[in-house]
């Protein structure tokens, strides 16, 4: 047996524990990271997957990811067997680098309108807050969703391809989070003076939710988690509390890895959630993962309000963009029907004359 095959047989749960990570058992052979709901270990296959970041692999990949080391260093680490003495390398902060060349927003607008069913008013509203751009990424035109922190500094960017290419991309369109993005910040959109938070899974869903509910929305911050991330909920909750107290500088001292601990501290040692009973609304997808995420936050004692999109017919999954597209189809169908009725009124068919047979 080769050296690599030997180290790959190390139990990934034991390795995780030795590195200071205590994964919670969900069911069967599935375990969950304490701070990242979409980061899971599958003990039966000795693998892991971080769904929201689309990262997966074996025990060597796991050590590389959580310890921030090279492949060679990860193998050497596993070979020692002395996990108690191993030192985890802390991730050093690197500022996010946005290097894309931006271009006119024409193709992105067509995609948002024709493919996603969003209105010009919605697109313009989000564009005015600097959240949208069109750019070129690896010779491909992409729609850019920008993420700004509490200081207004660009911290992350998500990319959505504008041209469908099923041969090149598994999901038809390019979908990517730019390297170095700070995933805990989320992509936020303010309406008035925010006093509560509404969380969606993607920016498209966030824009769709706004388009459907804009008349009922006031003094609220819409947030795209770009997945299902407790860290984003923690960060945005801390941000809202810090804004109310005029202590935003406090957030500069918070390490992303400690966000869930601060959220727990707010819950256990302050009256914030008692005085802000409707502060957290989860407008996530109505599917198994979304409902499970809501349940987990409820189990943690967080006062969440669920606002899930209705399921359509026999479908088992629905998101807010599905509802927007369905309404657009109904509106188009009604428009066509009205046009047909009007055409008949303006140009009625000729009356048929009956001849009596003698």
pLDDT at residue 277 in the model:
82
The answer on pLDDT for 86 being more than 50 is no
The answer on pLDDT for 244 being more than 60 is yes
Query: Edge-to-edge strand order for the sheet containing 39-42?
Result: 24-27, 30-32, 39-42, 47-50, 55-57
The answer on pLDDT for 326 being more than 70 is yes
Confidence label for 319 from pLDDT (cuts 50, 70 and 90): very high
Nearest Cα neighbor of 210 from 132, 311, 151, 141 is 132
Confidence label for 71 from pLDDT (cuts 50, 70 and 90): confident
pLDDT at residue 226 in the model:
93
Nearest Cα neighbor of 189 from 210, 158, 216, 161 is 210
The answer on pLDDT for 298 being more than 80 is yes
Which residue did the predictor score with more confidence, 221 or 250? 221
Which residue did the predictor score with more confidence, 303 or 258? 303
Q: Is the dihedral angle over the CA atoms 90, 92, 93, 98 positive or is it negative?
A: negative
Confidence label for 75 from pLDDT (cuts 50, 70 and 90): confident
pLDDT at residue 213 in the model:
97
Per residue, the 3-state secondary structure of 61-130, as one string, reads HHHHHHHCCCHHHHHHHHHHCCHHHCCCCCCCCCCCCCCCEEECCHHHHHHHHHHCCCCHHHHHHHHHCC
Question: Do the bridges between strand 196-200 and strand 220-224 make them parallel or antiparallel, or are there none, so unpaired?
Answer: parallel
Average pLDDT over residues 310-314: 85
pLDDT at residue 78 in the model:
86
Q: What are phi and psi of 47, to 5 degrees?
A: -130, 175
CA 61/CA 133 separation, integer angstroms: 34
For the chain, list the domains and their CATH numbers: 1-78 (3.90.580.10), 100-304 (no CATH)
pTM exceeding the 0.85 threshold for the entire prediction = no
Confidence label for 218 from pLDDT (cuts 50, 70 and 90): very high
Contact call for residues 58 and 66 (beta carbons, < 8 A) = no
pLDDT at residue 335 in the model:
47
Average pLDDT over residues 60-85: 76
CA 142/CA 138 separation, integer angstroms: 10
Q: Is the dihedral angle over the CA atoms 90, 95, 100, 105 positive or is it negative?
A: positive
Which residue did the predictor score with more confidence, 17 or 185? 185
CA 297/CA 245 separation, integer angstroms: 25
pLDDT at residue 83 in the model:
35
Give me the chain's average pLDDT, please: 86
The answer on pLDDT for 97 being more than 70 is yes
pLDDT at residue 88 in the model:
37
Confidence label for 356 from pLDDT (cuts 50, 70 and 90): very low
Which residue did the predictor score with more confidence, 92 or 50? 50
Helix (H, G, I), strand (E, B) or coil at 172: coil
Which residue did the predictor score with more confidence, 343 or 234? 234
pLDDT at residue 17 in the model:
82
- For residue 251, give Cα distances in angstroms to 182, 185, 277: 14, 11, 23
């Amino acid at each position: 047996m080769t050296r690599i095959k030997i180290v790959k047989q190390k139990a990934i749960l034991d390795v995780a524990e030795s590195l200071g990570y205590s994964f919670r058992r969900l069911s069967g052979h599935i375990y969950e990271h304490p701070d990242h709901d979409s980061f899971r270990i599958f003990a039966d296959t000795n693998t892991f997957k971080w769904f929201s970041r689309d990262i997966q692999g074996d025990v060597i990949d796991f050590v590389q990811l959580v310890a921030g080391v090279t492949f060679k260093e990860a193998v050497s680490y596993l070979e020692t067997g002395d996990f108690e003495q191993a030192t985890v390398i802390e991730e050093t902060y690197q500022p996010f680098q946005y290097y894309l060349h931006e271009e006119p927003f024409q193709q992105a607008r067509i995609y948002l309108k024709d493919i996603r069913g969003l209105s010009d008013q919605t697109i313009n509203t989000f564009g005015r807050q600097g959240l949208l751009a069109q750019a070129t990424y690896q010779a491909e035109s992409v729609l850019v969703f920008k993420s700004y922190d509490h200081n207004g500094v660009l911290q992350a960017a998500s990319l959505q391809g504008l041209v469908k290419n099923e041969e090149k991309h598994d999901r038809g369109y390019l979908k990517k989070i730019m390297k170095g993005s700070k995933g805990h910040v989320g992509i936020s959109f303010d309406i008035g003076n925010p006093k509560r938070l509404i969380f969606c899974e993607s920016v498209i869903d966030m824009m769709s939710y706004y388009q459907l509910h804009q008349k009922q929305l006031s003094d609220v911050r819409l947030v795209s988690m770009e997945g299902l991330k407790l860290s984003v909920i923690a960060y945005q909750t801390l941000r809202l509390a810090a804004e109310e107290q005029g202590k935003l500088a406090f957030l500069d001292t918070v390490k992303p890895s400690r966000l869930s601990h601060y959220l727990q501290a707010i819950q256990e040692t302050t009256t914030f959630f008692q005085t802000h009973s409707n502060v957290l609304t989860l407008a996530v997808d109505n599917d198994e993962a979304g409902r499970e995420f809501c349940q987990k936050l409820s189990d943690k004692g967080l006062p969440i309000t669920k606002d899930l999109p209705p399921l359509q017919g026999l479908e088992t999954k629905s998101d807010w963009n599905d509802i927007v597209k369905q309404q657009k189809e109904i509106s188009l169908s009604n428009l066509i029907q009205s046009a047909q009725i009007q055409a008949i009124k303006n140009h009625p068919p000729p009356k048929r004359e009956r001849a009596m047979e003698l």
